[in-house]
Amino acid sequence: MFDFVEWSHAMAQFHFLRPWWLIAFFPFIGLLLIKWKSESQVSNWQKKLPNHLRVALTVGENGLKRRLPIVILSIIIALAILVCSGPTWKKQPSPFHQDQTPLVMVLDSGSAMQEKDVAPDRLTRAKQKMEDILAQRSGGLNALIAYAGSAHLAMPLTEDSSVFKPMLEALGPDVMPLAGKDSSLAIPLVEHQLKGSPNAGTILLIKNDVNASSVSAWRQALNKEMPETQLIILAAGNVDAPSDIPLRLDALQQLTSEVNGSVITMSVDDSDVKTIIRRVENHASLNTKNSQPWQDMGYGLLIPIAVLLLLWFRRGWIVQWACAGILINSIALSALLLNSHSAYAVPVKSTAQPEAAQVAASFSFGDKVMQAWLDLWMTRDQQGQWYFNRGNYLKAANHYDDPLHKGVAFYYASQFDAAYKVLNQNHDFNMQLHAASALARGRQYVAARALLSKLVHQQPDNKIAQHNLVIVVAVIKEINEFSKSQSEGMDASQDASHELGSEPQTSDGAETQVTQEALLDDKMTADQLLESDASIDKWFQRVESDPKQFLQSKFSIQYQQQREEK
């Protein structure tokens, strides 16, 4: 199904990686006109014959059928020029970063969501859709805001769906401190969650209606304060089913039309969920500013070129046109091979072979023949990409000469130490950033912190480096706190735990879980809970009571504080 919203976003980013190839259209069009004109001319001896005799005595095809080889060849040449020019509209995904695209879900928790025009009711169906989104966004950052007559943060941005789901299930009209239906009250909470994120975020607003004042507030916020944020509305309800509070698609569409958003209606299958996830990912890919190279999308045009070349096996075409067609196709393939692996960085020969690359491999006769064949047609980097695309990452790493591609392959093969050794050879900022990611994935958090601190000092405005540094510092802090809590339970004479210090270390403490007894001993008051989102996120792991009772108390306290501030 054609998605006009995604198409318009892609066209806004459309450009050519090698636009100078488009100059080839000028001589191509000139030669085409000359050839077409020559094919249309009648020879001198034919001009001397009457028209009826010339038609009867001339052997061969006339009209368009005679010029069909020229038409087909022109299409092939035009496609080949486009392939060589490198059309693109999205960037390559980075293997070093998990999906950190923020998605803020804003759920209408008022009485209107209890209508039963969708089974079993709007609120339950909305929760089911949100759980499906969580399940398919593995590693993505998700936040939950509930609103009725007031708006409240139920869950700050987190990757942990196991903590998210209990809070989602607890939401309902009986939890909200004030009845109502004003979605604009959630705007300040949304802005706070998306503030400082290096990736372009998305707001998923789940509701059945919107009034004029809310439209104006959302338009002001999205067009001025959050211009890079996408709004998606999941329409809760069914326009074809009777309801006391009907679904107003026209009002929802009016809002999205003014902020360049989109409305998605609930479906009985997961097509609506897939559409939402696809738009979240595409929006982040198109709008997030990062150092990743643009992805060459011209490869798909090689398929119609190959299909059209099959026509040259027809009798009468080979002698006249095959050489020209094969030459054009060869030029296109050569241009792609020469340019497909040069987008990351200037190739630098590896000076230090990691241990994984030094392992002597025993090659069979078939392997040697295969390698000899590949050497005839592809460079080492192209061979590495060939193995990489087939999931043989370690073999790909051993073939790559380009250090960045080699490091990426080792990273995919979970050889993080080898990846760091390769990436650390070059002092280029992007390679150093990837090297820090390899250290972090290898659980050398202190070394990763030191390298990221250095990179942030070099480029203070680089949001990716800042974001990664915050994560690594948080992991180190969590390990230190856990070590401290463990040491307090031991004999004072045993110096069993200590600060991680400044020496490079590898630690798996981030995966260690505190026992339930330790969590129960550390309680937080309501005032401490409301101090920050970090406190809320921490407390969610320690909550002893029913989530619904917890949210009801929390929202009530927040509502009282909001009234006092006014």
Strands 141-147 and 15-16: unpaired
Residue pair 129/107 in contact by the 8 Å Cβ criterion: no
Residue type, 333: L
Residue pair 259/231 in contact by the 8 Å Cβ criterion: yes
Q: What pLDDT sits at residue 292?
A: 66
How far apart CA 365 and CA 375 sit, in angstroms, is 15
How far apart CA 269 and CA 445 sit, in angstroms, is 43
Distance of CA 224 to the CA centre of its chain: 24
How far apart CA 324 and CA 73 sit, in angstroms, is 8
State the residue for tokens 């392992």. Answer: 359
Nearest to 480 by CA among 502, 464, 457: 502
How far apart CA 524 and CA 273 sit, in angstroms, is 37
CATH of range 365-479; options 1.10.10.10, 3.30.428.10, 1.25.40.10, 3.30.1370.60: 1.25.40.10
Strands (DSSP E) contained in 58-201 are: 87-88, 102-108, 141-147, 151-158
Domain ranges of the chain: 4-92+300-313, 103-287, 365-479
Strands 230-235 and 102-108: unpaired
DSSP secondary structure letter of residue 323: H
Q: What pLDDT sits at residue 232?
A: 93
Q: What pLDDT sits at residue 145?
A: 94
How far apart CA 69 and CA 1 sit, in angstroms, is 34
Biggest CA–CA distance in the chain, Å, is 119
Q: What pLDDT sits at residue 129?
A: 93
Kindly state the tokens that stand for 13: 């980013």
How far apart CA 430 and CA 345 sit, in angstroms, is 9
Residue type, 546: D
3-state secondary structure of 105: strand
Kindly state the tokens that stand for 305: 């070129």
Residue pair 335/81 in contact by the 8 Å Cβ criterion: no
Residue pair 284/276 in contact by the 8 Å Cβ criterion: no
Q: What pLDDT sits at residue 127?
A: 93
Kindly state the tokens that stand for 199: 């990736």
Residue pair 489/515 in contact by the 8 Å Cβ criterion: no
CATH of domain 103-287: 3.40.50.410
Strands 262-265 and 151-158: unpaired
Nearest to 398 by CA among 457, 357, 340: 357
Phi, psi (deg, nearest 5) at residue 232? -120, 130
Mind listing the pLDDT tens digit of every residue in the chain (566 residues)? 555 666 766 677 788 989 999 999 998 888 888 877 776 655 666 666 777 776 666 655 555 666 777 788 889 889 999 999 999 887 776 555 555 688 999 999 998 899 988 988 999 999 999 999 988 887 678 999 999 989 999 988 888 778 888 888 889 999 998 888 889 999 999 998 888 777 778 999 999 999 888 999 999 999 888 888 899 999 998 888 888 888 989 889 999 888 878 899 998 888 899 999 888 887 777 666 655 677 888 888 888 988 888 877 766 554 444 455 555 555 555 554 444 443 333 333 333 344 433 333 445 666 667 767 667 777 888 878 878 888 888 888 888 888 888 888 888 888 888 888 888 877 888 888 888 888 888 888 888 888 888 888 888 888 888 888 888 888 888 777 766 655 554 444 344 333 344 444 534 443 333 333 333 334 444 445 444 555 555 555 545 457 888 888 888 888 888 777 76
How far apart CA 296 and CA 549 sit, in angstroms, is 53
Q: What pLDDT sits at residue 42?
A: 58
Q: Is the peptide bond before 120 cis (omega within 30 degrees of 0)?
A: yes
Kindly state the tokens that stand for 242: 């009777």
